[in-house]
Structure 1
Amino acid sequence: MRLTISSERLATMAAASLAVSLLGLFGYLAATTSGSNNSTSSNLLTATTTSNCVRARGESPSSFLEGVGYSKLRAAVIELYYASDPETTDLEEQFDDALMAMELVERDGHPVPIDGVDGLYVGSIGAAYNLPALQQAGITHILSLEPAGSCKWPNLFSCLHIDTLYDNSKPENNISQYFDRTLPFIDHALKKGGRVLVHCWRGKSRSVSTIIAYLIQEYRWTPDYALDIIHETRPIADPNDGYWQELEDFYDATVGKHAHHVEDDDEVNR
């Protein structure tokens, strides 16, 4: 494992693409801030050893942080990287995002199946970065709607990464502009008998909105009904207001305002 002290490395951390490397950085910082006079190579060895020991003991990221002192290490990494790139001003946010990604692997690190839709899963970045959980669920395809969430294992999964979508109300972040790419990706995966994980950062808004759009297109469900179905296994599902309006517009354009609603039936075939 190689650790590079640079703003580029911090960007990688902020992307939270390698939780183990972040643990290794903590090992490096622990050695640095403790007043060690070891060489850089020794510090990197300490980082690698720390990472391996944490994994071998089965220690969680949060318990490891508690043991080494989160506040001290956070302050150290901010100072260290700021010194290497004084123009960078958002180090605190990036560092905290990386830690949050580690925590999501720990507490929300499994793909969540959509009730009644075989092969369709939703999740946070924690699920997307948890290889054993992905393999246990039989995931074959990953749709990432998180700019920082590029596919970690492109040789193991078919991946589509939308790296320009942010979960806010700016017009350029309209989620429907990606439906012509995301919905066929989901449909192709499922109709081939695959299992697809749709994820964003928290598995709450972008991923859920995209799945609702797919359910509208494939099953003619209204947005409300589709969200109710998702809530059965993913209670935190909550598209933001802008995405919700897009979903209602998508339903009207795809199914029609006065179309028969599938949820009006006495029995629903899912």
Structure 2
Amino acid sequence: MRGCWEQLMHLPNDFNEMGVLLSRLNNSCRGNSREPVNTSETVSSICDREVTGTDSDHSSITPNENKACEPGGVLVPAPPVTAYVERGYVTPQQVYNLLSAEEGQPALYDPHYILILDCRSTERYEDSHVVTARAAVTVIHPALGCLISCIELQKYYIILLYAEEGCSPVGSVKARTDAPDLLRCFFQISGLGMDPVILLGGFSAFQARYPYLCTPRMVLLEPERHTLTIYPSEILEEALYQGSASQASDYRIIKNLHITHVVNATASCPDAFPNMLCYLRLCLSDDAQQDLVEALPLASRFINSALMGEPAGRVLVHCSLGRSRSSAVTLAFLMEHRRWSLLHALRWLKERRACTAPNVNFLRQLLAYEELLFGSKLTSLNDICR
């Protein structure tokens, strides 16, 4: 089972720059923890309504009728569509997920995980900057060059640069006019053999979306990093999030992400804010015996109803560590309501949450769910375990 998952970490795909960054994250992670196995009975409740799980046959599940279907009633598969991002750039959402990444422990706890260089003026940096960012002048001086040794720079898995705003291609006349300090840093670091990336839209774009990840504080040392709030991964922008039980019980996270609905896929963790949020409780165990036959369609309908509501809600899916049970739920939703094959859904999820790790029992049931939704097998176990 472990061998299957270790191979899953290296899915064959056409990953963009974010895939490269996440591969660096996978290499940087120190932990190898798994969610605790729980053998509690399966019982689901949606808000104040309870639905008890049974050993029903998969044929009892009916795909949502509001989605594009073939005459036979099955879904027509469609590949994910993503906006083109020029190589060497990352979007604000990708940076958010890099800052939220965890595998065993939050990646930000490692001082050499990511070096973020704020290429704006000292005054702008001191006013507010991306959490853990350093003023670029402390690393790359306009006259003195690199102030940190090349050996020290090579210890970082990711080097991220940003200016105030703008997204002009590196080397263009407009880029030289808009962000000369950023370009100087970019070329000096590149000249040392590093591969820095640039935040698309700059600090202003990131702060507009994620103000709670911006601060006037300088956070550099490991003890300071352990005080940081680590947020759930953003799977669909400003809509669907996946994380851990501890994140689901943190009021600051719930408030900052504007969460309205929660899927609790644990067997023992209580719903943290039952008087504030709408919950779907799925008492699931992360083991080889757990049956997802009723949980997957129930959770998919719950998530879709929340996201399509008026006003649209925001959903957090969680289990104990946010790796196995919650991933199975998220994947089922992406297949059913985005019409993605399991392979496409898994690639999408892992690009946004590197610690995704549904157990093999869940993968087999997701393959059966895929066949039910689309009327044929689109993914094989070898596709996701080789």
Question: Which TM bucket (shorter chain)?
Answer: 0.5 to 0.7
1:132 aligns with 2:252: yes
Distance across 2 between alignment mates of 1:200 and 1:169: 16
**Letter paired with 1:154:** P
Q: 1:49-198 to 2 correspondence within 5 Å?
A: 109-114=230-235, 116=236, 118-163=238-283, 165-170=284-289, 173-192=290-309, 193-198=312-317
Aligned to 1:231: 350
Distance across 1 between alignment mates of 2:238 and 2:375: 26
SS of alignment partner, residue 151 of structure 1 = coil
Query: Sequence identity, in percent?
Result: 28
Contact 1:109 1:128 in 2 (8 A): no
Aligned to 1:245: 364
Distance across 2 between alignment mates of 1:139 and 1:168: 29
Aligned to 1:257: 376
SS of alignment partner, residue 142 of structure 1 = strand
Aligned to 1:205: 324
Distance across 1 between alignment mates of 2:232 and 2:303: 15
Structure 1 unaligned regions, length at least 5: 1-104, 260-270
Runs of 4+ more than 4 Å apart: 105-109
Contact 1:122 1:198 in 2 (8 A): yes
Contact 1:109 1:130 in 2 (8 A): no
Cα–Cα, structure 1 residues 108 and 224, in superposed 2: closer, same or farther, change >3 Å? farther
Distance across 2 between alignment mates of 1:195 and 1:168: 29
**Letter paired with 1:128:** A
SS of alignment partner, residue 293 of structure 2 = helix
SS of alignment partner, residue 294 of structure 2 = helix
Distance across 2 between alignment mates of 1:243 and 1:233: 20
Distance across 2 between alignment mates of 1:208 and 1:119: 16
Contact 2:322 2:356 in 1 (8 A): yes
Contact 2:260 2:277 in 1 (8 A): yes
Give TM-score scaled by structure 1 length: 0.53
Deviation at 1:118, TM superposition (A): 4.3
Distance across 2 between alignment mates of 1:121 and 1:150: 19
Structure 2 unaligned regions, length at least 5: 1-225, 379-386
Deviation at 1:131, TM superposition (A): 0.8
Cα–Cα, structure 1 residues 106 and 229, in superposed 2: closer, same or farther, change >3 Å? farther
- CA deviation map 1:135-158 (0-9, x unaligned): 101100011001122211111111
- CA deviation map 1:70-109 (0-9, x unaligned): xxxxxxxxxxxxxxxxxxxxxxxxxxxxxxxxxxx97885
Structure with a larger share of its residues in strand: 2
**Letter paired with 2:361:** G
Deviation at 1:196, TM superposition (A): 0.4
Contact 1:212 1:227 in 2 (8 A): yes
SS of alignment partner, residue 231 of structure 1 = helix
SS of alignment partner, residue 241 of structure 2 = strand
Distance across 1 between alignment mates of 2:308 and 2:294: 23
- CA deviation map 1:242-270 (0-9, x unaligned): 100111111111012267xxxxxxxxxxx
Contact 1:124 1:202 in 2 (8 A): yes
**What is the root-mean-square deviation of aligned Cα atoms in Å?**
2.2
The structure showing larger relative contact order (alpha-carbon pairs under 8 Å, at least 6 residues apart) is 2
Deviation at 1:111, TM superposition (A): 2.2
Distance across 1 between alignment mates of 2:272 and 2:305: 21
Distance across 2 between alignment mates of 1:106 and 1:204: 23
